[in-house]
Amino acid sequence: MLLVFGERDEAEEVAETLGEWFPGLGVPRVVRETLAGEDDAEDAQWIVVAEGLDGTALVKVEELLERYDGWVETE
C-alpha cells in the first residue's frame, strides 16, 4: 500500500506511527517522488511504502490519512 503526503515530516511521522501500531511491519520506508510542474519547477510528494497491512489495519490507516491530508495511491 502506498500512502502519499505533501510534506516529508508528515510522511515520516506516519511511518513511525505505523511502526508503533503494527510492530510486525517494522517502520515503513519513506520515498521522495519528484514531480515536474507546469512551470518546470520541481515539486515533490512523499510516499510511505506500507507493505503487509491487512484489512483490519485500514481503519487506522484512514485515520492517519485524514489527520495528515494524505491519500492512498492505487498505481
The residue written with cell numbers 511502526 in the block is: 19
In the predicted model, is pLDDT for residue 74 greater than 80?
no
What's the grid cell of residue 64? 492517519
In the predicted model, is pLDDT for residue 75 greater than 70?
no
Rounded CA separation 58/42 (Å): 32
Q: What is the structure's pLDDT at 4?
A: 97
Contact 55, 71 (CB under 8 A): no
Give the CA count within 13 Å in the CB-facing half-sphere of 35.
10
> Length of the chain in residues, anyone?
75
Contact 4, 44 (CB under 8 A): no
Domain 2-73 has CATH 3.30.70: yes
Better-scored residue on pLDDT, 31 or 36: 31
Task: State mean pLDDT over 13-22.
Answer: 96
pTM above 0.75, yes or no: yes
Average pLDDT over the chain, rounded to an integer: 89
Rounded CA separation 15/43 (Å): 21
Q: What is the structure's pLDDT at 72?
A: 93
